[in-house]
Amino acid sequence: MSEENRRFALAERPQGLIDENTFTLETNPVPGIGEGEALVHVKWISIDPTNRTWIGEEPTYLPPVQIGETMRALGLGEVIASNNENYPVGSLVNGLTGWQDYTVVSDSNPLMVVPDSAKDAPPATLLGMLGMTGCTAYFGMLEIGEPKEGETVVVSAAAGAVGTVAGQLAKLKGARVVGIAGGPEKCAWIVDELGFDAAVDYKADDWKTQLKEATPNGIDVDFENVGGEIMNQVFGRLNINARVALCGLISGYNATERPPDLTNFHKLLINRVKLQGFIILDYYPRFGEAIRDLAGWVAEGKLKSEQTVVEGFEQLPHALNMLFKGENKGKLVVKIAD
């Protein structure tokens, strides 16, 4: 074990993409533990679009990270010293570790202990398909989107961590699934490897035409990760009684300019659409149920898990920008220790 704890602290709130001034890399001694506490060596960090919303000025569903505080993030680590029987040495833990090498847990500042049955899954899978990412797709698609056999489902950011799972879940339910992704390679991948029925390349000039042609019967479910003009065009094709699972609005997270108009907002009225915003933390008490189902489908070969792994603690800020530039396929994780 190192005697040093590296951490990225928020130095200033970014305008647009984060840059070299956003975080400060600091090195401090590894914290000691008191009664009821355990020390976790963080090994993997989950990179999620919502990370960007936590460092804006506006409170979201969590308070903004304050200047000087460690960057908030989900991670996976191992308990290496413990004064708490809930956290035995050697156990794997998953939760809000932050961008740092070591963190202290306790009953009042808990992380989730990975059950033995899941311990052998790859770390990226524990943070992805069998973590918050998979649960987001699970509850958003199955409980809000509720796709039915033969319906048309559109997933935006379809090659991303949540999108890849959400689309496959809709396929499991017998829907026609159309993914919106950036570039021909990702579009081919979600169709050929993940089994989507069609893909729309939003970087192509004719993407609106592609969307029309891919949804000849309109759209019954929009699993919305992106917002902006992509969402607007999807709204324009929603069918009567369509559902919108509003999961993310990634196109706006770095925005510094006026967003495009939602000229098709009125379609929500005319077509009696149900739109439901959701934050996966609200479903925390039900994660067990989701993970059990997801793990079962993975074992049966019905769900494929894909990840992009970046190595090195110092790569964390760069990795976050990769998300917004679309440089990942599936779950994006950073390995910060062996």
Binding site for its own copies (CB under 8 A): 60-61, 227, 246-249, 252, 258-259, 261-263, 265-266, 268-279, 282
**Shortest distance, CB of residue 300 to its own copies, whole angstroms?**
32
Contact 226, 154 (CB under 8 A): no
Please provide residue 166's backbone torsions phi and psi, each rounded to the nearest 5 degrees: -60, -45
Closer residue to its own copies (CB): 268 or 337: 268
Task: Give the whole-angstrom CA distance, residue 145 versus residue 136.
Answer: 12
The least CB distance from residue 265 to its own copies, in Å, is 7
Residue 281 DSSP symbol: G
Q: Which residues of 183-210 are buried (b: 16+ CB within 10 A; e: fewer)?
A: eeebbebbbeebebbbbbbbeeeebbeb
Q: Which helix (H) or strand (E) holds 122?
A: none
Note whether 31 and 102 are within 8 A (CB): yes
DSSP 233-259: HHHTTEEEEEEEEE---HHHHT--SPP
Bridge partners of 160? 330
How many CA within 13 A on the CB side of residue 102?
A: 20
Looking at beta carbons only, is 81 or 255 nearer to its own copies? 255
- 42 vs 242, beta carbon nearer its own copies: 242
Indicate the residue among 119 and 266 with the shorter CB distance to its own copies.
266
Strands, E assignment, 182-330: 198-201, 219-224, 238-246, 274-277, 307-311
CB of 277 to its own copies, least distance (A): 4
Q: Please provide residue 3's backbone torsions phi and psi, each rounded to the nearest 5 degrees.
A: -95, 0
Nearer to its own copies, 84 or 271 (CB): 271
Give the nearest distance from C-beta 297 to its own copies in angstroms.
26
State in angstroms the smallest separation of the CB of 180 from its own copies.
18
Nearer to its own copies, 62 or 188 (CB): 62
Integer Cα distance of 22 and 126 in angstroms? 28
Least gap, CB of 230 to its own copies (angstroms): 13
Closest to its own copies by CB, 258 or 338? 258
CB of 338 to its own copies, least distance (A): 37
- What is the rounded distance in angstroms from the CA atom of residue 333 to the CA atom of residue 338? 14
* CA-based torsion, 207, 208, 210, 214: positive or negative: positive
Which CB, 101 or 222, lies closer to its own copies? 222
Q: To the nearest whole angstrom, how small is the minimum distance from the Cβ of residue 272 to its own copies?
A: 5
